[in-house]
A and B are shown apart, each in its own frame.
Chain A
């Protein structure tokens, strides 16, 4: 009975280790996912508007 239990414990411990490794990988994947989520958002018009205005200003002054 006791041996049976310690084998169970070992199995559990190794499963926990695998789980930890998987979670670490999952964190990496989710981190990129989170970043890419914003990257893939359409850029608000404001960004291009202010850049265009600045470009016009510098074209006019040079």
Chain B
């Protein structure tokens, strides 16, 4: 059923297959990025699916050979913020996610370090969190992260460094209180910090 060697690219079928293959390969990354934005795994998968379909529908405007990962991450991010504008109840959802994480931290069997980090990340202002995740975990250069977030490279750099500092002190405070055995109080102060970080901006 092959088109034969003379049938060079009958219509745009071949590039479209390439697009689909590349998009499918990016799904795990999109899910991971969505998870850092949403916190809640089910909401994150909804977001990742929406972004995947947006990317699919916009495939005609994508230039093969350019950075598809950055392109899809940008779509996912835009989707996240437009969803968020629609329902500003989202901040309540973030709060719920933070509380669920707290419960996980309370579990003595839970891998402590990872849950503390998750909790710390949830406390960061969203623009700091996304910058840190893109550069620190997503493997993007500052320039690419700037393109994804639609801001200047210098802005990304300062967001990443502020995020690192904030995360460091959040985790330090957590570790201190854990050693002191006053876990209940620690949770209280962490939540108060989260609220302060969320309102000041």
Contact = CB atoms under 8 A, between A and B. Distances in A.
B118 interface: yes
A55 interface: yes
Given A35-B32, A38-B35, A46-B49, A51 B24 contact: yes
Contacts of B52: 47, 50-51
A5 interface: no
A48 interface: yes
Interface in B20-71: 20, 23-24, 27-29, 31-33, 35-36, 45, 48-49, 52-53, 56-57
A36 B53 CA distance: 23
Contacts of B23: 51
A17 B36 CA distance: 29
Interface string A2-41: 0000000000000000001001101110111111111111
Main SS at interface, chain B? helix
Nearest to A53: B53
A46 to B, nearest CB: 7
B27 A47 contact: yes
B20 A51 contact: yes
Interface residues of B, number: 33
A31 B132 contact: yes
A31 B116 CA distance: 11
Contacts of B187: none
A23 B121 CA distance: 15
Contact of A27 (B45, B56, B171): B171
B167 interface: yes
B196 interface: no
A44 interface: yes
Given A34-B121, A39-B28, A47-B49, 20 more contacts: A20-B168, A27-B117, A27-B168, A30-B113, A31-B117, A31-B132, A34-B117, A34-B137, A35-B36, A36-B32, A37-B114, A38-B28, A43-B31, A46-B49, A47-B45, A47-B52, A48-B24, A50-B49, A50-B53, A51-B52
28 contacts: A20-B168, A24-B168, A27-B167, A30-B114, A31-B136, A33-B114, A34-B114, A34-B121, A35-B33, A35-B36, A35-B138, A36-B137, A37-B114, A38-B31, A38-B32, A39-B28, A39-B32, A43-B27, A43-B31, A46-B49, A50-B52, A50-B53, A51-B20, A51-B24, A51-B52, A54-B53, A54-B57, A55-B20
